[in-house]
A and B are shown apart, each in its own frame.
Chain A
Amino acid sequence: MNAVIAPEEALPARRSQTSPRGSRNVPQQWGGLLRNRTSEWHDRVALAVLGTAAAVLSVWNLNTAPAYRDDEGTYTAQVFSVYEGTLAPYTYGYEDPPLGWMQLGALAWLPNVLGLGDGTYIGATRYAIAPFFVATALLVYLVARRLGVRVPFAALAVAFFVLSPLSLVFGRQVYLDNVGMPWLLLGFWMALSPRTALWHHIGAGVFFAVAVLSNETLVLFGPALVVALLNRPAWANRVFSVVGFVVVGGIAIIFYPLMALLRGELLTGPGHVSLQDALVYQFVTRSGSGSLWEAGSDRAELVNGWLYYDQFFIAAGLTAGLLCLLQRGTVWIPVAVASFVAPVAIGAGYLPPMFIIGVLPFLALAIGVGFDTLWSWWKAYTPTLGTKERAWTNGYAVACAVLGVVVVSSLQWFGPGRAQLTQEANAEWATALAWVQDNVPEDDTILVPYVMWQDLSSHGREDPWTVVPTEKADLDPEFLSEHPEGAAAIDWVVVGPNTDETIESLGLTIAGQALDNSETVQTIGSWSVHRVQRE
């Protein structure tokens, strides 16, 4: 009988199966999920139930609340310009990388063809956001499970995410943040693969790049992703993993400046837009939102708005984030949260309202991990009890926790949540749109808020210099070459709830002049249509 007398060689201790949290072994099948191996039945049931719930919530009352916003109008216009083979209806100025609305373009034709969205373009495009919302919810569950969070707590994290009024408001609107989120979470899911396989880490780099190319602000979560990848026991191919992650992710992102370079628009120069100009505008010259600590600043107002919708979720997530610091495998969650909080709390630059979208899944994950940790402690401190007593105590603890969550969440969630699921917030918009379509002659030049642009600039008004977004008359030099007479060329001005604010904050003189010279011909709630007076 032969026996092995010597191991092949003194290999350093190599751990191929490590738990990301370092405390409990992650089920083997999570490594194999990529290969379509069947996972545990309870995971499949949980995914099916949570996915269905997220899908229903993502389309429930979708076109009537929240109210359509100008940014949504801009992205919708860009989505539909993809079908024309261009990146934007006007000169594309590198405000965002185009991959986000290209993805929406790949989806938005379907709701548009099916007539979803009340027959409007902006409404149909909201439906294209739904798959991204559902994917984000499911990935919250999958990432939680990769962290070893027990099924009920992983499901609870998803429940927090999809039920929060913040998600119901921001998560269902046409924002690029919503498009990028599932790619970002997929990156985390791959980076946390228990197989510590090179391909998973290269995949994490690729998905991170896709997330950033969908919405550049998600680059903030890069450090958290690196921490997630590295902060666990060393493995044999670690150097390869890190290099593969950084290099492949990096080259994929480089395709954005490469695109600018190929269009001759990488660096600033006369007679053309450039990526450099766009970056300088975003980070340097754009008027900021003020400091969070200055009462009444835009930033303070915005944060107050977020807290109005769901201070419970934000507070619970931040607190649970501290619990995540206790275990090596979950330290990346507070890093992600801090990457979001720092620019909000310290910065003074422009803060977009939808910025909150990026942190919601991480707050939800923190809550899942927090509950799971508390449960582990509970179990550890009650080992001496008998089976029956233990069952009673466990039941009592669960009941208290559930009751607490239900009471607090219903106090916080019921009002704003119900509003999103029942409110009618776009009726005036729709009536105003219909009035303009019916009453404004097709050849007249009309200034409209971006939120109405795509739906007006079809049906006989295809020329982008006949139907013009409010800010374009001032900010796009091409307006003056199309209409050398300037403000005098404008026949109509449609004023929405935010038009005055837009004119003021961007200092729009042509639009302001046209509006000053006009008289109101129709008022529909917060909307009004103005006819410019001729001398």
Chain B
Amino acid sequence: MHALLFSALIIFIALALFTIAASTLYLNTYAWWDPKTQERTFYGGVLAEEQYSFSLIMPCRHEHEMVMRATLGALLDQSHRQVEIIISVGHDDPDTVAVAQRLAAEHPDRVRVSVDDNVPKNKPRQLNTALAMCRNDIVGVFDAESIAAPELLRNIDSCFVGRNADVVQGAVQLINFKDTWYSLRNCMEYFTWFRSRLHAHASRGFIPLGGNTVFIKRHLLNEVGGWDPGCLAEDCDLGVRLSTLGREIVVAYSPHLVTREETPDSIRNLVRQRTRWSLGFMQVLAKGDWKQLPTRRRRALAWWTLMQQHFMAFAGVVIPIAIIAAVWGDFPLAVTLFAFLPLIPTVATMALDVCMLHEFGRDHHFEVSAYDYVRLVVSTPFYQMVLAFAAVRALVKFRLGDFRWEKTSHSGAHLDYVQQAGKLAQA
């Protein structure tokens, strides 16, 4: 009787892991499904006239001046003519406030500073304070360390017009892939997320927005009351709420229009960042706005997406147990073979990751070496363990009700890559 129960448990776990791995494979490769899907996920082209004006919010906290200056520089260099920039800072961070005011003073006609005095401090509160100062048609958000592509806003403008969009999500790409053992995996994660996964979500009517290079019509943002000040994944939450309203959310990608960023500078920071995201997703799931999505299919997709962090925690705990049970558990042969089933989508995902790394290098003019391909494959299980640890940590924090903000710090590691890639692209 016990043997039968254990067999059933092993089969259930194998099925769950298979489904999780298969859905990851499905989402990761969505953009490469067929050539038509790939073409459809690109920007549509630039229209002759600019139609909208932009207010760009740049939330900063404990930042280096060098990093902020580079980010602002890229925003000021936009080919679009109607752009204002609001640097958002907190009143308890005087150094960054001083830098922001100095930068604003250098460009008094286009740059202003929003000082948020809410307590406790977090990103959505800063964003809401800055939103009140915005004057233009469309509000865009750029993180403090995000280097925007010069043609980005022209393309976004055309996207709003051509696709009759309410929201346009552009792509963010981490680029310092050679720095640490985990940074390559981290870069590829962003690559699949913005190149592929978000498009799969958009095509099915439910999308958790990213917090960066995202553009929303200002009146719409005001209508929904801006960002949720208590949510750790305010971007995801906003995406969920706009999805339930049935708003037209467009995701667009082009390698030369991605906003470039750096990976967290240590594993500790990566874990903190992922814990924050996981907690945020758990909050959004618990808030339950997604239950108002119009169709059962969309609600199912929303549940599946918001549960990803739970799945990751589940996989992290269960995979080692499953391996031990499968190899030494002495189960009937069919059960043991079944336990190996998740291996198929998992290995396929890793193999296709290698193809994606090739495409990543080609798109961004990076030289990807054989060592990088090996590193990508070898680091996968360790990287997954880090993510699983962060997810478990988030689950614990969620149960304890600990929603303190753990901010990711920026060192500017991506700036060299931006320069190098620029030179390579010109060459």
Residues of chain A whose beta carbon lies under 8 Å from any beta carbon of chain B = 2-9, 11, 14-16, 195-199, 202, 235-237, 239-240, 243-244, 247-248, 251-252, 255, 258-259, 262-263
Contacts and interface: CB of A to CB of B under 8 A. Distances in A.
A517 to B, nearest CB: 41
B29 A247 contact: no
B351 A4 contact: no
A198 B45 contact: no
Contacts of B33: 197-199, 237
B47 A237 contact: no
Interface string B21-55: 00000000100111110110011111111010000
A264 to B, nearest CB: 11
A196 B35 CA distance: 7
Given A7-B45, A244-B351, A262-B336, 19 more contacts: A2-B47, A3-B47, A6-B45, A8-B43, A8-B45, A8-B46, A9-B254, A9-B255, A14-B35, A198-B29, A237-B34, A237-B35, A237-B38, A240-B29, A243-B351, A243-B354, A251-B344, A252-B344, A259-B333
B48 to A, nearest CB: 5
Interface string B225-240: 0000000000000000
A240 B359 CA distance: 10
B355 interface: yes
B347 A240 contact: no
B161 interface: yes
B352 A258 contact: no
A5 B48 contact: yes
Interface of B: 29, 32-36, 38-39, 42-49, 51, 155, 158, 161, 254-256, 333, 336-337, 340, 343-344, 347-348, 351-352, 354-355, 358
B314 to A, nearest CB: 23
Contacts of A252: 344
A258 B340 contact: yes
A247 B351 contact: yes
A98 to B, nearest CB: 11
B407 to A, nearest CB: 35
- Closest 3 interchain pairs by CB? A197-B34, A16-B35, A2-B47
Contacts of A263: 333
B32 A240 contact: yes
Given A237-B35, A243-B352, A3 B48 contact: yes
Which has the most chain A C-beta neighbours within 10 Å: B36, B39, B42? Answer: B36
A196 B344 contact: no
B42 A9 contact: yes
Contact of A247 (B155, B256, B348, B358): B348
A235 B32 CA distance: 11
Contacts of B155: 8
Contacts of A240: 29, 32, 352, 355
Contacts of A258: 337, 340
Nearest to A241: B32
Contacts of A202: 348
6 contacts: A9-B42, A198-B33, A239-B358, A247-B348, A251-B344, A262-B337
A263 B337 CA distance: 11
Contacts of A8: 42-46, 155, 254
Contact of B161 (A2, A198, A236, A247): A2
B333 A2 contact: no
Interface secondary structure of B, over-half rule: helix
Contacts of B347: 247, 251
Given A198-B29, A237-B38, A263-B333, A251 B47 contact: no
Contacts of B51: 2
B92 to A, nearest CB: 44
Contacts of B38: 14, 236-237
A8 B42 CA distance: 8
B34 A9 contact: no
B34 A198 contact: yes
A243 B350 CA distance: 11
A4 B45 CA distance: 6
A235 B35 contact: yes
Contacts of B337: 255, 258-259, 262
A2 B52 CA distance: 13
B309 to A, nearest CB: 27
Contacts of A237: 32-35, 38
A244 B349 CA distance: 9
A192 B35 CA distance: 15
B34 A195 contact: yes
B49 to A, nearest CB: 5
Given A243-B351, A252-B344, A258-B337, A9 B47 contact: no
A196 B34 contact: yes
Contacts of B354: 243
Contacts of B35: 14-16, 196, 235-237
A251 B340 CA distance: 11
A4 B347 CA distance: 42
Contacts of A236: 35, 38
A7 B36 CA distance: 16
Contacts of A239: 355, 358
Given A2-B49, A239-B358, A259-B337, A248 B42 contact: no
Contact of A9 (B29, B158, B256): B256
A398 to B, nearest CB: 38
Contacts of B49: 2
Nearest to A195: B34
A15 B352 CA distance: 22
Which has the most chain B C-beta neighbours within 10 Å: A9, A240, A243, A247? Answer: A240
Contacts of B352: 240, 243-244, 247
Contact of A14 (B39, B47, B343): B39
Contacts of B336: 262
A7 B354 CA distance: 29
A251 B337 CA distance: 13
A236 B355 CA distance: 12
Contacts of A196: 34-35
A198 B32 CA distance: 7
B355 A4 contact: no
A259 B339 CA distance: 12
Contacts of B348: 202, 244, 247-248, 251
Contacts of A259: 333, 337
A93 to B, nearest CB: 16
Which has the most chain A C-beta neighbours within 10 Å: B333, B336, B355? Answer: B355
Nearest to B42: A8
A534 to B, nearest CB: 43
A240 B352 CA distance: 6
B254 A16 contact: no
Nearest to A237: B32
A251 B44 contact: no
A201 to B, nearest CB: 10
A263 B351 CA distance: 28
A425 to B, nearest CB: 38
Which has the most chain A C-beta neighbours within 10 Å: B34, B336, B344, B348? Answer: B34
A240 B255 CA distance: 18
Contacts of A3: 47-48
Which has the most chain A C-beta neighbours within 10 Å: B35, B48, B337? Answer: B35
A255 B340 contact: yes
A4 B256 contact: no
Contacts of A11: 39, 42
A246 B347 CA distance: 12
B46 A243 contact: no
B409 to A, nearest CB: 34
B34 A16 contact: yes
